[in-house]
Structure 1
């Protein structure tokens, strides 16, 4: 039985999402709750689990494709239930069930194999191309129109070998010729699991003719001698005996031992793992850009979607909804620098990296307790201000995919080292895109540290529907006048943006003064 799986709403009210990467290929056996795809939501990449135990039958969306919620993205043959039969020619069926030939039997097998190849079905049915994600990726790299490639796999599925053949033959005619070209006469035994028919994992029944990048080079022999136990091992490992390198011979023919099979399988798996990691890194990188030349010069078109579009819409909503006012000041933090220097080794002994951010978080919470109106939200529909007596502090983190704002929950109830640990963990998860949606929700006040890159003052945009955000400038020594003399002091410029509908300028200035008092005298934080 074929089970369809629709893209679920992996966020709150999500209408569409981008398929970042597929974690499975056609023919793979999966278990219930096993991740099968990575999907990008508003600000995070989440894994989508399989709803059933079964075998991947068809993948209906490409990596990088925007898919509406509710569209079918993958189908499964449910384990233990009869699968929908795949149309195939009589010759192809015979070739699939043929026992691996040795010696004179190879000639008969060659005829069956050639017949199956010649009768390969077109790769597209109903306008959709059946191809593994790796084959689609290779087609893009080689500039091959995959819709014109004749697939030699079950049901006309296009494999990487088909794409390479089309590229080498130079187009549509070459692809057709490649589909009709003689293939190896050697086939796998028919009772091998479908997911192990091909080391590439795309369900193709043809012997693998290429290795993963950096992997072992297949031998590509027509005949191989091996003991029955070795053949069983090859089937279990999903490798073709004819591809296993060997220097051993018996009766003038290549002879493969179990050790040869194990070494080849291990090398293949290592190379495939490296390939998969490279693909994931590529998919997680910025969207591919198209470059073109205009009369004015060269321009680059970058898709405005995913995280970048989410950030843009949020900023637009905040800027055009809340009237922003920004209060600027500078705080002298010589004592803070000294305290942090003394405590840093102690924190490292406990395995925690202590930055200045936990001190800033503690100081903000202390100031918010005195001026809670900055820890609020305006409910426009009910025409009321919600003053919150809990403190969830969002901290903006710059990532390769854009700005993310993880939230330290209940910061007012945590000690300095716990906050430090939370900040480090959340920032790391944001950068490697493993952070969950819930870890970026529920903030009551936000911090953005643009000084880490460089700069003193800015006008931060409020993380709507919050009503205030603090920007931190670069921590460095600056000239300060004390007792009529200019001296060098460690200082931090601050930029406090407020929603002027809720917060008055006087409230902002008093909050800033209190914050600076705590940062300038960090021992006061011991009372919090």
Structure 2
């Protein structure tokens, strides 16, 4: 039986740790592989019980959904082999049995009876073990490093069905309802409203539903005896395997621990100054941390060898890095301020309680979405952002939209000018791929995206949310209009999934009929560009052929871009190209 990788929430992830060995007997939902992506670390459970016969991946491999991880010999397969062997034994020549002593024949009959009873009780034992089994479940990939528990929708003792919403999680991107991973009774809730949670964190214990009808077919005494024998056998096997693994790991663990101890000792004697990326990479050789943590360490310039891991086998988590940085900042804050230093953040507010100076004040809490948006928005302080403005004459395009919107409305499709903007921008990105890219961590390369995943900013009561339309370059105006409408409804109803909020390569922020002539949208890191669209208005434009002014419908465009990747001349050309496509969408057909 092949155990395959489930839906990981990302295209691929790296095998960080293999938690089983060939020959291990595992139960369903036992963790077998630790996978790490740039989003999170995820422990993959086994979808069945059995004996591990083959491990198909190795540490460091990149795996994706549907890839075979391990192969199992299930209990049903082992039982079939046993029955096949019994059948072969029973087909021996009858003459041999006639020559056996009478007492041997009686012993054989008794043995056959015991085997039959054991085989009969086996399904009942499995059903009995399944009934009332409490399983701890971890959060799925939330699409962000952490999010806040906004609401707990169930209580201890409640009976839940599979996929029933049990938690409401809010991040800087959206509010997401977490479904129940299985049907059963809620035994324990491991989080509380207001807690900050991360991907893979245990959040609920559920006693799974089962059926005890099979156990009614045999007596309780036989089932108890069978379970007792199986338990003793499993305990003996586990002790033997544990001893063997201990013997195997002892020689190899000591050098690693000694090397790690030496590394940590040397690191503590080193300077606390921020390291270059090359220096950080040199210190990562003997450190137990996943690729996402290593990437974060490079971004923060942290000496990872000075960080103490809190996970199993001293594995370093993102939380350990944050705690390390926080400790350093607190230490620096306590030290006397240097006159030559430059503050990396705004100073504290003055005392606002003096009403003679400041007048009356009122304190209001930010919404959860605003609070969790602040770290992402702070990235913009590090981007050299510039905005290019332009106007597009969409008079003819609006006429075309007016001719088509009646038929679209009959099909229940809202056909707005935004569909044309999305299509034109996606086509422009295929012709100017540098705007559909990301700057590498070391600022030496540009990563070009071959597909256009368009983020569409949607205003909700809680704030701005940006769902993503995937592969826009392959879709027509009608399909784009359908998906814009569906995602907008999901955003306002808080029904967006994490996949619908991930993977954007470029963003469009349309103010529609909100008013205004232009604005400066903020680039959403790690993207390098965002297009702002303001309200169209009738303006007089000079017609050279008629030598007169005539009214034209003009659409303001505002392109903000990361000046490290995009220069001003290219931005002007790109914005004018989008304006030209919107003026005559037939150009896209060429």
TM-score by length of 2: 0.49
From the superposition, tell whether residues 448 and 482 of structure 1 become closer, same or farther in structure 2 (CA, over 3 Å). same
More displaced 10-residue stretch of structure 1: 373-382 or 427-436: 373-382
Between the aligned partners of 2:414 and 2:144, the Cα distance in structure 1 is 37
From the superposition, tell whether residues 76 and 409 of structure 1 become closer, same or farther in structure 2 (CA, over 3 Å). closer
From the superposition, tell whether residues 74 and 369 of structure 1 become closer, same or farther in structure 2 (CA, over 3 Å). closer
Which position in structure 1 is the counterpart of 2:433?
Answer: 372
Q: Which of 20, 34, 37 is the matching residue for 2:150?
A: 20
Between the aligned partners of 1:81 and 1:298, the Cα distance in structure 2 is 63
Which position in structure 1 is the counterpart of 2:173?
Answer: 43
1:1-80 aligned at under 5 Å gives the runs 3=134, 5=136, 8-12=139-143, 14-15=145-146, 17-59=147-189, 61-67=191-197, 73-76=203-206
Give the SS at the match of 1:297: coil
Q: Is this contact kept in 2: 1:33–1:50, CA < 8 A? A: yes
Give the SS at the match of 1:330: strand
Q: Which of 288, 300, 307 is the matching residue for 2:369?
A: 307
More displaced 10-residue stretch of structure 1: 506-515 or 343-352: 343-352
Between the aligned partners of 1:466 and 1:448, the Cα distance in structure 2 is 14
Q: Is this contact kept in 2: 1:455–1:473, CA < 8 A? A: yes
Which position in structure 1 is the counterpart of 2:525?
Answer: 464
Which position in structure 2 is the counterpart of 1:508?
Answer: 571
Between the aligned partners of 1:362 and 1:474, the Cα distance in structure 2 is 18
From the superposition, tell whether residues 69 and 10 of structure 1 become closer, same or farther in structure 2 (CA, over 3 Å). closer
Q: Which of 393, 398, 403 is the matching residue for 1:342?
A: 403
Deviation of 1:450 (Å): 2.2
Give the SS at the match of 1:301: coil
Which position in structure 2 is the counterpart of 1:220?
Answer: none
- Superposed CA deviations along residues 476-496 of structure 1, whole A, max 9, x for unmatched, are 212333346443221111111
1:138-287 aligned at under 5 Å gives the runs none
Between the aligned partners of 1:11 and 1:347, the Cα distance in structure 2 is 35
Between the aligned partners of 2:354 and 2:190, the Cα distance in structure 1 is 36
Matched, 1:495 2:558: yes
From the superposition, tell whether residues 357 and 70 of structure 1 become closer, same or farther in structure 2 (CA, over 3 Å). closer
Unmatched 5+ residue regions in structure 1? 83-291
Give RMSD over aligned pairs. Answer: 2.9
TM-score by length of 1: 0.54
Q: Which of 398, 407, 423 is the matching residue for 2:468?
A: 407
Unmatched 5+ residue regions in structure 2? 1-131, 213-351
Q: Is this contact kept in 1: 2:142–2:198, CA < 8 A? A: no
Give the SS at the match of 1:428: helix
Deviation of 1:497 (Å): 0.9
Equivalenced residue count is 315
From the superposition, tell whether residues 320 and 485 of structure 1 become closer, same or farther in structure 2 (CA, over 3 Å). same
Q: Which of 481, 491, 500 is the matching residue for 1:430?
A: 491
Between the aligned partners of 1:61 and 1:380, the Cα distance in structure 2 is 34
Between the aligned partners of 2:157 and 2:520, the Cα distance in structure 1 is 53
Between the aligned partners of 1:459 and 1:58, the Cα distance in structure 2 is 48
Q: Which of 445, 457, 460 is the matching residue for 1:384?
A: 445
Deviation of 1:389 (Å): 2.6
Between the aligned partners of 1:365 and 1:67, the Cα distance in structure 2 is 35
Which position in structure 2 is the counterpart of 1:441?
Answer: 502
From the superposition, tell whether residues 409 and 294 of structure 1 become closer, same or farther in structure 2 (CA, over 3 Å). farther
